[in-house]
Structure 1
Amino acid sequence: MADRTYRWLLVTLAVIGLSADQASKYGVFKWLYRDGALSSGIGNEHDAVPGWFKFIAQFDPDAPLCDCGFSALQTWSAPIMPRVNHGALFGLGQGQKGNANGFFAIISVAAAVAIVIWGTRKHTASERGLMVALGLILGGTIGNLYDRLVFGGVRDFLYFYRIEWPVFNVADCCLVVGAALLLIQAIFVPSVPETAATTPAPAECPAPATAEAPKA
């Protein structure tokens, strides 16, 4: 159907992804802070799958609280700031701190705006798989963008230490899954021409009546 739209999928998945990302970050960092009882001096960790996977939260005692009206919300009652990733996925740009964070924040804003514009197009909104991919990417983008604006970097806490995989978060998961779905959509799903999706098919003309032969 040409008029069918899946914009609700984009909005729903973006909201779910953003909510899951922020709730998991605040919950894990509050849980592992443990009222200031830092086991190693810089943070705490919990082995979820011994030998393979752990939750890890590091804190920066030397970083002052951000004076931007979010103090109580930022650290969820913790008196010190979490240590953050100033770069992007897989540790890209991590060592550049403020410069990298500002650069990736601008990229995130541009990506979010582009996704919203792309998702509002009638042809794009009619493709369910594309809306699912864009919704996940939008939720992950906004989740990490919030961290960059409020904390000066991204809060990561998921760590596959057996394979030394870079620490990541739920927003990163949304970004990776959304990008993979977008790639699958581009390679394996045939695109419906926009004219075919928006232009109604011409009405069939009735066949001309034939004169009956006179009866003998």
Structure 2
Amino acid sequence: MDETDRALSTSSPMSVPKNRVWVFLGLALTGAIADLWSKQAIFAWRGLPGQKDIWWVVEGYFGIETAVNLGAVFGIGQGQGLIFAGLSIVAGVGILAWLFWFRAAYSMWLTVALGLIGGGIIGNLYDRLGMWWQPGYPEAWKSGVRDWVLWQASNQWRWPNFNIADSLLVVGACMLMYQSFFPEQVGFPIPEAKPDEAGESSSQSE
């Protein structure tokens, strides 16, 4: 066993830089708050889906329109909201384990990417669990996600409505994809051995 392997094997699974914890929590909580606040504000302003016309920021291309998505990101998997809620919980637990047990948090790039994804998961999971639903709303909306961003190239080429949480999930996923293709550019620092461990390794090698 060389010195690097010894350092990895003797390090505690939670011995990652403390600032990584704050970076992850800061991104996840800030992202979730921004998503939930924007949903609440936009729905209070524009009403439920169909109550008001599109409010255009850029006429014909970018606007604000409330919608309820019964599927996953960008409308995929309609009617499977509760399944996606369960998968979101599993994914959240997996992210925490990957970061702080398997020590992916040594990489700032991965910490940021998973922090963004965490914020997206929290924001949409809140809706999936029916925390925003009120009596009088359609029953199917209990597992639906509030969307409000409209983006289209034309009336024939229209992207499904989305929200800030969806955007966080996509950006985080793109960062993970980039890291998988170009790992040498984002780096994954190896923890250095403690002085006593380094001394022990050198004495054994002699």
Q: TM-score range by the shorter chain?
A: 0.7 to 0.9
* CA distances 1:87-123 after superposition (whole Å, capped 9, x unpaired): 01131122xx3xx011111111111111122222363
**Aligned match of 1:165:** 159
Distance in structure 2 (CA, Å) of the matches to 1:3 and 1:156: 36
CA RMSD of aligned residues (A): 2.4
Distance in structure 2 (CA, Å) of the matches to 1:180 and 1:137: 10
Distance in structure 1 (CA, Å) of the matches to 2:17 and 2:50: 56
When the two structures are superposed, what TM-score results if normalisation uses the length of structure 2?
0.73
Distance in structure 1 (CA, Å) of the matches to 2:76 and 2:103: 34
Higher relative contact order (CA 8 A, sep 6+): 2
Q: Out of 63, 74, 78, which is 1:90 matched to?
A: 74
Q: Kindly tell me the number of residue pairs found equivalent between the two proteins.
A: 168
Q: Does 1:174 align with 2:178?
A: no
Q: Does 1:121 align with 2:101?
A: yes
Q: Out of 54, 58, 62, which is 2:63 matched to?
A: 54
1:142 partner letter: I
Q: What SS does structure 1 have at the residue aligned with 2:145?
A: coil
Distance in structure 2 (CA, Å) of the matches to 1:106 and 1:122: 23
Q: Out of 18, 25, 28, which is 1:11 matched to?
A: 25
CA contact (8 A) 1:140 1:172 kept: yes
CA contact (8 A) 2:61 2:151 kept: yes
Distance in structure 1 (CA, Å) of the matches to 2:188 and 2:21: 17
Distance in structure 2 (CA, Å) of the matches to 1:3 and 1:133: 16
When the two structures are superposed, what TM-score results if normalisation uses the length of structure 1?
0.70
Once the two structures are TM-superposed, the CA of residue 31 in structure 1 deviates from its matched residue by 1.0
Q: What SS does structure 2 have at the residue aligned with 1:165?
A: strand
The 10-residue stretch of structure 1 (164-173 or 40-49) with the greater mean CA deviation from structure 2: 40-49
Distance in structure 2 (CA, Å) of the matches to 1:181 and 1:22: 23
Once the two structures are TM-superposed, the CA of residue 49 in structure 1 deviates from its matched residue by 0.8
2:77 partner letter: G
Runs (5+) with no aligned partner, structure 1: 59-83, 206-216
**Aligned match of 1:146:** 126
CA pair 25-186 structure 1, distance change in 2 beyond 3 A: same
Distance in structure 2 (CA, Å) of the matches to 1:110 and 1:118: 12
CA contact (8 A) 2:73 2:162 kept: yes
CA contact (8 A) 2:16 2:100 kept: no
Once the two structures are TM-superposed, the CA of residue 197 in structure 1 deviates from its matched residue by 2.3
Distance in structure 1 (CA, Å) of the matches to 2:124 and 2:163: 9
Once the two structures are TM-superposed, the CA of residue 165 in structure 1 deviates from its matched residue by 0.7
* CA distances 1:5-61 after superposition (whole Å, capped 9, x unpaired): 41211110001100110011011111112xxxx8x9544420011121110025xxx
Higher normalized helix content (fraction of residues): 2
Q: Out of 147, 152, 156, which is 1:156 matched to?
A: 147
Q: What SS does structure 2 have at the residue aligned with 1:93?
A: coil
Q: Out of 100, 106, 117, which is 2:86 matched to?
A: 106
Q: What SS does structure 2 have at the residue aligned with 1:143?
A: helix
CA radius of gyration, larger in: 1
